[in-house]
Amino acid sequence: MHSFVLRIPLAGSASAPPVEHARLARLQDQGWRLTQTMAGVDGATTGDAGYCEAADWGACGLAFLQDRDGVTHQLDMSPQQAAEKSDLELLLDLRLAKGQDFIHTVYGSFSLVFIHKETGRFEAYRDHLGVYPLYYTVSDGAVTCASDLRACLHLSGVALSADAIRIADFIKGDEVDFDRTAFDAVLRLPPAHQLEPANQTVSPRRYWKLEIPQETVSTDCAEQLRDALQAATLACMRPEGSVGAMLSGGLDSSALAGLAAKQSGAPVQTVSFVYGADKAYDETRYIDAANETFGSIPHKIAIAGAPPLDDLATVLDEQMDLFLAPGLPKARQIYPHARALGLSAVIDGHGGDEVISHGYGRLVELATHRKFSLLYREARGAAKVHSLPFLALFSSHIAHYSGMGPRNPLRRLFLKLARYQTKRSSISGWSGTPISLITSDLQERIAATERYAPDPLLKTKADFNRAECLTHLRALNAPLMAQAFEVFHRSATAAEVLPRYPFFDRRVLSLCLAFPAEMKLRDGRSRWILREAMRDILPESIRTRADKAEFGDEIFDVVRDFYSDKQVSFFEPMSDFVSVDAAEQLRKQVIVREVTDVAAIRALWRLAVLSYWIKGLKGWCDAQAKGILI
């Protein structure tokens, strides 16, 4: 693992006893390195996490700088001096040189705590985008901070109980809050936030916010994107030789693997899943084309299919928190393979869709400006990619955004056409909703109607005119984005590997947000600007492909297999949160294929995850009582 945990007494607390020696000893027995900044401050690190000191300060955490040269320049260090410093040591030096403003000059991933060794005052920081996790809990007059959820629970000794609100959100299929975990006593520090003591507790405070740049970048867009991604990828490749690339054969992972290969002094090792030519979602032909073009060293992991849901117990024990990633039980297998190849980090194309943006907000802008011929062309491309009924997409945009009044007969005609086309193309539908699976008592307690009410992003004509940048920004700022990083981090670090995400370099993000809509969706091709930037780097078969591997049938089969022998009793242990009758009715409908739509299948998948989490909770509580949670 690559993690740290630290327990710090809060100044002014009536009682802040030292942590039980047995819990510290347990960490040491499990291979963690113990550290003590000052009397009463207990902690431990493992893997790449560390502890260092300078002047009157200590720093504990996990850090990876994407602009290490920029930091050493700010510190006026020679290359020789810089070479002797870890990223964590450089961040501590920068904090001492610039005060709390240091955070605005840093590019990278970090989860760290600074402690003043004389006063005991602390500051905790999570990176701007939330790539590295940071959890905390306040108990017995002390705050426990950790990059690992299990370690936070273990060292604090806090009682484990479920957060009903988070569980309701999970059943619904949403990530609503940035700070909740599945345990009501432990919170996550949101991205771009710092944590400081406040009286006898702690207070999180935002230090940065991702926003739409004031100036639009409209010239040399492809060249600028290529340069920015190239610099971001190069920064993620240290130390050279121990960093590989995940390669799925899609546009995002292939782009990064190609940029890595272009800049590496030796062939880059790539790691890929292959399923066999009989599977419609097998990407071997694209993977082979990419590896041949890049001159990389390919490693293929043969996968027969998605693991059965019975394997969720192992995944939940690793994660401890709930997760909205049906592909995780399969995807997490890539990290042990990477480690076996001698890789300590892997370049990951996760988030490319959101960072570059498909550009579908442009459809709203075209309808608003009544550019119907362009709307027709771009909507056809969008519909083809996502297998949507084109006329429904085209007609609904005209009806909603072209300025026609609610009683306009032409508007009614377009709405009727959109509804007809949607109904005609829809698969067997579910009469219920995920909310109906939440118990009525819990719905009432959390005010579910208000909590899950749609929040329309586009409310005015001014919003319609800049629909693409607003939808682009919302996708990047969504709670699910930061929490997905945590899910991957737990699986990767369990295999002693760290994922790195060049798309989530802040400079790449700001640049992509500054591109006009026509750079993202153009000639019916989504993410047009990335395709242009990758000319002469990617094989044309990958650069111009409009489809993506679709695993919907695989998930459906796994869910049906899992529930085929279940009875209503399966849902009863979840009855504090789940409407047993509604869940059982849905199970029966799916088993006989009366209901086959994606929302229903994913809802049942989430209930399977929840069932294993609830089983795991009892075991974790028992382990916590014995001091052996970790």
- Our measurement of the distance from residue 169's CA atom to the centroid of its chain's CA atoms, rounded to an integer in Å, reads 17
DSSP string for 3-52: EEEEEEEPTT-S--PPPPHHHHHHHHHTTPEEE-SSTT-EEEEETT-EEE
Q: What phi, psi does 387 have (nearest 5°)?
A: 55, 45
- Do residues 232 and 260 make contact, with C-beta atoms less than 8 angstroms apart? no
- Do residues 457 and 470 make contact, with C-beta atoms less than 8 angstroms apart? yes
- Do residues 603 and 173 make contact, with C-beta atoms less than 8 angstroms apart? yes
Euclidean distance between CA atoms 552 and 619, whole angstroms: 33
Euclidean distance between CA atoms 432 and 173, whole angstroms: 14
In the DSSP assignment, the letter for residue 309 is G
- Do residues 606 and 316 make contact, with C-beta atoms less than 8 angstroms apart? no
Provide CB contacts within 8 A for 219, sequence distance 6+: none
β-pairing, 122-126 vs 135-139, is unpaired
Longest alpha-carbon distance in the chain = 76
Matching residue, tokens 């272009």: 262
For 466-579, where are the alpha helices, taking DSSP H only? 467-477, 479-494, 506-514, 528-533, 540-543, 552-563
Which residue, 94, 90, 115, 89, is CA-closest to 105?
Answer: 94
Beta bridge partners of 122: 115
Euclidean distance between CA atoms 527 and 222, whole angstroms: 11
C-alpha neighbours within 13 Å on the C-beta side of residue 354: 19
Length of the chain: 630
Is 87 marked as a binding-site residue?
yes
Map residue 142 onto helix, strand or coil. strand
Which residues does the annotation place in the binding site for L-glutamine? 87
Which residues does the annotation place in the binding site? 87
